[in-house]
Amino acid sequence: MPRRVLLALTALTLTACGSTAGGGADKQLTVVMWGGDDQKKAVAAYVEPWAKGKGVTVKQDSPTDYAKFRAQVESKKVSWGVVEVEPNFAVTACKNGWAVKLGKVDTSAVKKELVGECGIPVLEYAFTIGYNTKTFSAGNHPTSWAEFFDTAKFPGKRGFWKYATGAMFEAALLADGVPKDKLYPLDLDRAFKKLDTIKKDIVFYETGEQQQQLVSSGEVPLIQAWNGRIFAAAKDGQPVANEWNEHLLSYDQLVIPAGYKGAALAEEWMNAFLADAKGQADYANQSAYAPVNPKALEFVTPEVRKELPTEHEDQRAAIIDYTYWAEHYDKVTERMNAWMAE
């Protein structure tokens, strides 16, 4: 994603220089994410401790770039080792031979539905209903996507991420009464029709910082949010909160570009990461994005644990179907852009 985004992480690179045997200083790990504090926290939590023990030098770069990923593979000049990506890109990269099929990575500790042929999960996050607590109190705010779309009962602007896989269409269909287990394949005609009902009130954001500013200021008192961004804003004293009911679960994955000469080192780190409950917990405690190894929850503080999507599974509407999005992303994006321009 031009994500998080996100917030969150989106790409790791391990680059082995020289010999990859032993723990000599000739080994190097380059970490590529979406930048910002999230990247610094992630690297400090579960990359640097491993690297120090292995004698690996850690370097960083940002952000993830899918075009660059593909160009490196096709030119056979691969410098990236492990790249954090959206699962739909992982599916596409695997299908087209751009990513390595992971044969030596033990994924038994994580949920099967978050694992791909070429990708392993790195974190879980949720699309929640984020709301401004000065505009809407804890007992008087939307608790469903149907209420989120009800501008008569809950007046004000609505915020959505300006990205096809940002769960806007899933939210619209849930608001229109589609059963949770019948979301996919998405009925796009029905979704756009529902979005038309609040189109004049929609404000699109592109970054996590914009998301936080819009809802914290009250300019957009209701926003489809990344749970960690609302957590961080509230921690900084902003008047915001997450509504967990009908949240949509998302996650990021790690892949290795095809042709990477240090693939063995990359898979070694992947195995270490998946088993590193303490490192995953350290990052979760700072970000409120859930660890992928359940054992890590033992090390997450009670205050943060209640803000993780893993603690609200009974309120979950669905897990985003990234296999669907791998097939339909381009077409839906084209239609979405045309609809926004109308």
Tens digits of residue pLDDT in 42-74 = 878 987 899 899 988 877 766 778 899 999 999
Report the chain's terminal Cα–Cα distance, integer Å. 24
Is 151 part of any domain? yes
- Read off the tokens for 135: 């505009």
Please give the average per-residue pLDDT across 234-254, as a whole number.
97
Is 65 part of any domain? yes
Q: Are residues 337 and 226 in the same domain?
A: yes
Give the residue ranges of DSSP H helices in 152-297. Answer: 168-175, 188-196, 208-217, 227-235, 263-275, 277-287
CATH number of the domain where residue 165 is located:
3.40.190.10
- Read off the tokens for 276: 């590193």
Please give the average per-residue pLDDT across 295-306, as a whole number.
97
- Can you give the C-alpha Rg of the chain in angstroms? 20
Say how far apart CA 158 and CA 156 lie, in whole Å: 7
Q: Are residues 147 and 244 in the same domain?
A: yes
Q: Are residues 200 and 244 in the same domain?
A: yes
Is 1 part of any domain? no
Q: Are residues 195 and 326 in the same domain?
A: yes
The pLDDT score that the predictor gives to residue 20 is 41
Say how far apart CA 7 and CA 11 lie, in whole Å: 11
Q: Other CB atoms closer than 10 Å to residue 325's CB: what's the count?
A: 21
Report how far apart, in Å, the C-alpha atoms of 18 and of each of 77, 244, 261 are. 16, 48, 10
At residue 173, the 3 state secondary structure works out as helix
- Read off the tokens for 49: 């401790």
Tens digits of residue pLDDT in 127-137 = 999 999 999 98
Q: Is the pLDDT of residue 283 over 70?
A: yes
Q: Are residues 185 and 234 in the same domain?
A: yes
Number of domains in the chain: 2
Tens digits of residue pLDDT in 69-119 = 999 999 999 888 888 899 999 999 999 999 999 989 999 999 999 999 999
Write the DSSP symbol of residue 295: G
Q: Are residues 143 and 257 in the same domain?
A: no
CA 248 from chain centre, in angstroms, equals 11
Q: Are residues 137 and 98 in the same domain?
A: no
Side chain identity at residue 104, one-letter code: K
Q: Are residues 27 and 107 in the same domain?
A: yes
**∠ CA(327), CA(331), CA(336), 5° rounding?**
130
Q: Are residues 215 and 335 in the same domain?
A: yes
Segments forming the whole domain that contains residue 114: 15-123+252-319
